[in-house]
Structure 1
Amino acid sequence: MTTLHATPYNRDATGFYFTDALDYEAKSTLHVDRYGNLVEEFEIQFIDGDDAQLFEACGINQANLNIWFDDIEFLHDHEKVNLYYLVGVAGYTLSQALEKLDEPSITESSLRDAAEELFDECWLSSVPESVRFYVDYDKFARDCELSGDMTEFEYNNKTYTCTNSSAL
């Protein structure tokens, strides 16, 4: 479960913790400062849960908080990785990324390992056995990265590689 905090921009008001849209709605609509004035604007802060990095990358705030609760929070883990890649690495807006959620081809591996697997699957069989020892996977991985075909990134303390970066 995710715990968030609504911090009022009004210095005369205190914030509150919430865990879902209904909780936020109930607390924010009746929240007043010490003079009894209704507080309308909040900064939304991620406090606890597994998706802090995704929350930050998506730029969740008071205006799009409903997207977090309706569309993002209950995504499968691989979909969260895809979304993080699209908004945090590839630079898509949140709405664009949600539309393209199934398009990235992402593997949990380093760029070098992903490049080696690609090379082996596509071209190794055409390389003579006596020459295979000379294949330089590090240079092939570097070329894949420089051409924009593959992108390595970190998410939730794991290394991932998008293997179709240039196709997005």
Structure 2
Amino acid sequence: MTETSQPRGRGQKSGRSPLGRGSSAGLIVCFAFKPQESEDGMSITLYAQPYDITATGFYFSAVEEFDGKAAKLVNDFGEQVEEFEIQFIDGDQIDCELAKAIDLNQANFKDYLTCAQNWEYWEKTNVIIAVGECGYEFDPQASPDRYWIDVYHVGSMRELAEQFVEDGLYGDIPESLQYYIDYDAIARDLAIDYSAVSVAGEYLIYRAS
């Protein structure tokens, strides 16, 4: 579970955002927990914070819920509220980091909820790296594997070097010579084309083709 705040009780009204008035989607903080690949995942809770300081925001977990609550929301002067900052409140850490990577906002939160519900864990990881680290645009209609990103679940660049040697990427090396391999030198060479990143609490190495 990942929480970006300690939200108030769902039945309580507050004129303040759970994250504070000065917050923004770009400041989403995803606390690190042991990564898990849950089949069902947690329900995502978002908060719609009106930019109108005389209106009170609301929690929601589905597009229909947002549409219904937003349609009824008025400010202290009875005027319809139309513009909101969308904040990630609760859910799996991988979904929190996806929200952060795509800069969750009113224009993309509907696509975000659809993708978070339908994508596999590895697909979310790919998009987090592609958009958050490599500068690609978030395209909810495109397949997450279109970015041609190779992801390796290893603990260090040296470990990746050892894996590549074991997999035969450097040719068939006789066992008698493997003790003389300078894995640290290979790791330094790999670092030219490969980068490290932490996603949902897991250390990963990736290469963008």
Asked whether the two chains share a fold, i.e. TM above 0.5, the reply is yes
Asked which structure has the greater RCO (Cα within 8 Å, sep 6+), the reply is 2
Shift of 1:123: 4.5
The corresponding residue for 1:109 is 154
TM-score (structure 1 length as normaliser): 0.87
Is residue 151 of structure 1 aligned with residue 195 of structure 2? yes
Q: How many residues align?
A: 162
Deviations 1:83-113 (A, max 9, x none): 1111111111102x86351132212213332
1:16-165 to 2 correspondences below 5 Å: 16-50=58-92, 51-95=95-139, 99=142, 101-102=144-145, 103-110=148-155, 111-123=157-169, 126-146=172-192, 148=193, 150-162=194-206, 164-165=207-208
Paired-residue identity, %: 33
Paired AA for residue 161 in structure 2: A
TM-score (structure 2 length as normaliser): 0.71
Shift of 1:6: 0.4
Deviations 1:60-90 (A, max 9, x none): 1001112112233321111111111111111
Paired AA for residue 53 in structure 1: E
Find the aligned partners of 1:155 and 1:31 in 2 and give their Cα distance: 36
Structure 1: gaps spanning 5 or more residues: none
Structure 2 counterpart SS, 1:154 = strand
Tell me: CA distance 1:98–1:84, structure 2 relative to 1, closer, same or farther (3 Å): farther
Q: Which runs of 4+ in 1 moved over 4 A?
A: none
Find the aligned partners of 1:105 and 1:82 in 2 and give their Cα distance: 9
Contact 1:124–1:132 (CA under 8 A) maintained in structure 2: no
Contact 2:164–2:170 (CA under 8 A) maintained in structure 1: no
- By percentage of residues, which structure has more helix? 1
Tell me: CA distance 1:123–1:65, structure 2 relative to 1, closer, same or farther (3 Å): closer
Deviations 1:103-139 (A, max 9, x none): 3221221333223211222256533444321212222
Structure 2: gaps spanning 5 or more residues: 1-42
